[in-house]
């Protein structure tokens, strides 16, 4: 089976990041659940998936992920390799920075996923985040609001770390 990326985007930033990742990895199966929440069920068709979300409010999942959450919780991740991506604003929400990533991580782990792609918290300035385990983020973290100049470099470095396991 091939690899797919699933994302939802309210402002277009998560979509742009997901498309960059898909292009750089050569992933042709890309699903925007904002357009069709039933696409979430297609996760079942892949052994390897990248899941991308933005963070809203005080650390909440993006609305389309939130609305699909009950269906998402029914997916069996026990034989899947999962890489996670989240966007957030470390200046405006430094006490809940990318908590959506922590929420998604906890859920896929509970459902048996093998999660890859942990990244360093170095270079970020925040108080708290549920997305940090053992001093690392549980996935790729992008801050388009305050550090958009670092986005491409962060994507490149992350892809180098995961490509042997995700392709």
Q: Which domain holds residue 118?
A: 3-166
The tens digit of pLDDT for each residue in 78-108 reads: 999 999 999 999 999 999 999 999 999 999 9
CA distance 130 to 150: 22
SS3 148: helix
Looking at residue 37, its pLDDT comes to: 77
Looking at residue 1, its pLDDT comes to: 64
Give CA angle at 106 (104, 112), nearest 5°. 105
The tens digit of pLDDT for each residue in 50-83 reads: 999 999 999 999 999 999 999 999 999 999 999 9
Per the prediction, the chain carries an average pLDDT of 96
Q: Is the pLDDT of residue 31 over 90?
A: yes
Could you tell me if 93 and 59 are in contact, meaning their C-beta atoms sit under 8 angstroms apart? Answer: yes
The tens digit of pLDDT for each residue in 137-167 reads: 999 999 999 999 999 999 999 999 999 999 9
Tally of domains within the chain: 1
CATH of the domain at 142: 3.40.50.360
pTM over 0.95: yes
CA distance 167 to 136: 23
CA distance 48 to 94: 31
Q: Look at residues 23, 42, 46, 47 and name the one whose alpha carbon lies nearest to residue 31.
A: 42
Q: Is the pLDDT of residue 10 over 80?
A: yes
């Amino acid at each position: 089976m091939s690899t797919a990326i699933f994302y939802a985007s309210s402002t277009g930033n998560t979509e742009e990041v997901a498309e960059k990742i898909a292009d750089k990895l050569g992933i042709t199966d890309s699903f925007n659940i904002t357009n069709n929440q039933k696409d979430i069920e297609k996760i079942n068709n892949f052994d390897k998936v990248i899941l991308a979300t933005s963070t809203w409010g005080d650390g909440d999942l993006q609305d389309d992920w939130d609305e699909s959450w009950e269906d998402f919780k029914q997916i069996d991740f026990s034989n899947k390799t999962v890489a996670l991506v989240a966007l957030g604003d470390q200046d405006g929400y430094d006490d809940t920075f990318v908590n959506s990533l922590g929420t998604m991580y906890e859920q896929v782990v509970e459902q048996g996923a093998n999660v890859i792609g942990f990244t360093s918290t170095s270079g970020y300035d925040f108080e708290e985040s549920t997305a940090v385990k053992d001093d690392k983020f549980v996935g790729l973290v992008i801050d388009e609001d305050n550090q958009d100049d670092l986005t491409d470099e962060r994507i490149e470095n992350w892809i180098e770390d995961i490509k042997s396991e995700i392709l």
